[in-house]
Amino acid sequence: MKMILSSVVVPPKLLLQLCLSTLHLIFVSIFSTVRRWTAGDCNGTNSPDRALDGSKVQTTTPTSVNYHFTRKCNYKCGFCFHTAKTSFVLPLEEAKRGLKLLKESGMEKINFSGGEPFLHEKGEFLGKLTQYCKQDLQLPSVSIVSNGSMIKEKWFQKYGDFLDILAISCDSFDDATNQMIGRAQGRKSHLDNLYKICNWCKQYKVAFKINSVINTFNIDEDMTEHINELNPVRWKVFQCLLIDGENAGEAALREAERFVISDQQFQEFLGRHSGVSCLVPESNEKMRNSYLILDEYMRFLDCREGRKDPSRSILDVGVKDAICFSGFDEKMFLKRGGKYVWSKADMKLNW
C-alpha cells in the first residue's frame, strides 16, 4: 500500500525514514538545550538559577566584559577576527542602558573595542560611554583597545580622567611588517602613533598597554628592547586565532589561514621573550572561551565551536538569560590572568 502526501506518492519506508530523521533533529536540539542548562556553559557555573532537577545553580557574574560596539575599522589586518560585517552602532542611550544592566549584574570592568572604537563619531561616542561608565556607574575599571591611528590629544584632555587603561594593538616594531599584516593606514607609520600615545598616557595618567597578535609575519621577531622601552603595564601576546565566518570560511571577510602559527612556534616566541616581565601570553586554548564578548547588538558571542554564535540581546532578555549562552569559562578566565589590578587608582605607577 502507498500513501498520498501533497499529491506525491511516498513509499511507507521512505515516509518512516523522514519521520525518524525529523524526530532525531528535534531530539538533538532538545538534548543540546538540556545539556547546556544542566551542565552549564561555564564548567557548571553558567546556567539558569535552577537546573531541571530543581537544584540551585550559580549564575555567572559578568565581572569583565568586552563590548565591541562597532565593527568598522580603518585598518585591514589580515587575521582580524571581528570584521566589519555590519555598520550598526546602538544609539547612545541604548548602549548606556545595556551598560547599566551589566553593572547591576556585577560588572567591574568594561573594555571597549571594535573594529576601531575611535572611528565612530571621531571618538565622541566612545568618550561619552567612557565617562558614563566611570562617573555615573562608578566602575572600578574602564579600558579601551584601539589601533591608535584616530586618537588625538584633545580626547585625552576631555576624557582621560575617566579611562583606566588604553591598549594599543601593535604586532611588529618594523613598519614594513605592519604594512604586510595590514596594521597600517596608507603609508603612515603605525609605530609613530604608538610612541606618541604612550607619552600621552603618561601625561594624562592613563595606564598604557600593548596587544600583539603573533603570526607568520612576526614569529621570528625579537620585541624585547622595544617593549622594555615603552614599559606597558601589560603586554598581551595572542596566538593568531581562526574564527569561522570572520577570518575563515566562505562567508568571511578575511582569509587568515596564511597567518596561522603552530602551538610550538607560539611557545618558541614566548620563550624568546621570557625575560619581559609584563608579558601575558594567550594561546588559542586560553582565548577561545575565556572572554565575555558583546557584539554591536549587545549579544554575547559563544566562540567554543570555532565561530561566533550570538545569544539574544541583553537589552531584550536581560543579562542573566543572555549570559547562559555565552560559552564563558570562568576558570579559564582566571587561569589566563583575566582578573588583575585594573583600576589606575590601585596601580603603583610613576606618572
Q: What is the DSSP string of 20-83?
A: HHHHHHHHHHHHHHHHHHHH-SSTTSSS-SB-TTS-B-PPPP--EEEEE-----S---TT-SS-
Element (H, E) at 294: strand 293-294
| pTM, rounded to two decimals | 0.84
**43 contacts 36 by C-beta, under 8 angstroms:** no
Radius of gyration in angstroms for the set of CA atoms belonging to the chain, rounded to a whole number: 23
pLDDT exceeds 90 at position 24: no
pLDDT exceeds 90 at position 10: no
Catalytic option among 42, 73, 198, 303: 73
Mean pLDDT of the chain: 88
* Helices assigned H by DSSP within the chain: 12-39, 92-104, 124-131, 153-159, 175-181, 190-203, 224-230, 263-272, 284-288, 314-317, 319-322, 330-335
b/e map 262-276, b = 16+ CB within 10 Å: eeebbeebbeebeeb
* Three-state SS at 293: strand
Reported confidence tier of residue 16, pLDDT bands at 50, 70, 90:
low
Reported confidence tier of residue 132, pLDDT bands at 50, 70, 90:
very high
* Three-state SS at 139: coil
**134 contacts 87 by C-beta, under 8 angstroms:** no
Check residue 348 and give its pLDDT: 84
Phi, psi of 329 (to 5 degrees): -110, 100
49 class by beta-carbon count within 10 Å (0-12 exposed, 13-18 middle, 19+ buried): exposed
- Beta-bridged to residue 280, according to DSSP, are 236
DSSP letter (8 states) at residue 240: P
* Three-state SS at 133: helix
How many other C-beta atoms lie within 10 A of the C-beta of residue 14?
10
DSSP characters over 313-333? EHHHH-HHHHGGGS---HHHH
pLDDT tens per residue across span 178-228: 999 999 988 889 999 999 999 999 999 999 999 999 999 999 999 999 999
Catalytic option among 77, 170, 198, 324: 77
Q: Look-up: residue for cell 587608582?
A: 345
Check residue 131 and give its pLDDT: 98
Mean pLDDT of 252-258: 96
**228 contacts 181 by C-beta, under 8 angstroms:** no
* Three-state SS at 248: strand
42 is catalytic: no
**109 contacts 99 by C-beta, under 8 angstroms:** no
Give the three cell numbers for residue 265: 612556534
How many other C-beta atoms lie within 10 A of the C-beta of residue 182?
18
* Three-state SS at 212: strand
Q: Look-up: residue for cell 530523521?
A: 21
133 is catalytic: no
Catalytic option among 42, 80, 133, 170: 80
Q: Pick the closest to residue 142 from 45, 89, 212, 66 (CA basis).
A: 66
At 39, the amino acid letter reads: A
Check residue 5 and give its pLDDT: 39
- Beta-bridged to residue 299, according to DSSP, are 313
pLDDT tens per residue across span 43-89: 434 444 444 444 444 579 999 999 999 999 999 999 999 999 999 99
240 is catalytic: no
Q: Pick the closest to residue 117 from 99, 134, 129 (CA basis).
A: 129
C-alpha–C-alpha distance, residues 128 and 223, integer Å: 35
Q: Pick the closest to residue 217 from 172, 247, 164 (CA basis).
A: 172
